[in-house]
Amino acid sequence: MPKGKKGGHKGRARQYTSPEEIDAQLQAEKQKARDEEEEAEGGDGAVGDPKKKEKSLDSDDSEEEEEDDDYQPKHKGVEGMIDIENPNRVAQAAKKVTQIDLESPRELSRREREEIERQKAKERYMKMHLAGKTEQAKADLARLAIIRKQREEAAKKKEEERKAKDEAASAGKRLQSLSLSK
């Protein structure tokens, strides 16, 4: 049962567009847009713009680079005819790589500033911790001292038990040697 005013497409065969056809359509649209742009700029669609042909040949002339600075995007609708002064609208100016100043100090964002502050605070804490001035470091040192004492006591106990076993073994050997000699 159809859901809209027009009928459904259940019985019809589906039509699939191949990738080659899609590419061909896109190329045709681009060519059509170029032709319209040439007609709008020069007035002569057949002659075309010789400067654009030079650009397509990838030549590195300084004249072409200067012309790129004067380039203005094509306006949509009546946007080109009306001057709009919107204080909230920021015009995005594309900068060239040669114009970007890498040496000037860059203003950090809030997140970047906070991250740098966190790292500095962590470094300060680690220095204090290694010096044994923080509460956690003091607690760790006290715990380590207790563990060292326990280990020393355990080592002494083991040593005493080992000595006792050695004495018992040597006493047992003496008894065996005495009993054999009799």
Separation CA 159–CA 153 (nearest Å): 10
96 or 20: whose pLDDT is higher? Answer: 20
Separation CA 146–CA 89 (nearest Å): 68
DSSP per-residue string spanning 16-83: ---HHHHHHHHHHHHHHHHHHHHHHHHS-TTT--HHHHHHHTT---HHHHHHHHT--PPPPTTTTTS-
- Determine the pLDDT at residue 98: 77
27-40 pLDDT, tens per residue? 999 999 999 988 88
The pLDDT of residue 51 is above 60: no
Residue-wise over 106-121: b if at least 16 C-beta within 10 A, else e? eeeeeeeeeeeeeeee
Confidence of residue 104 (pLDDT cuts 50, 70, 90): confident
* Run of H or E residues at 9: none
The pLDDT of residue 85 is above 80: no
- Mean pLDDT of all residues in 102-121: 88
Q: How many CB atoms are closer than 10 A to CB 42?
A: 14
Separation CA 79–CA 109 (nearest Å): 34
- Mean pLDDT of all residues in 113-120: 96
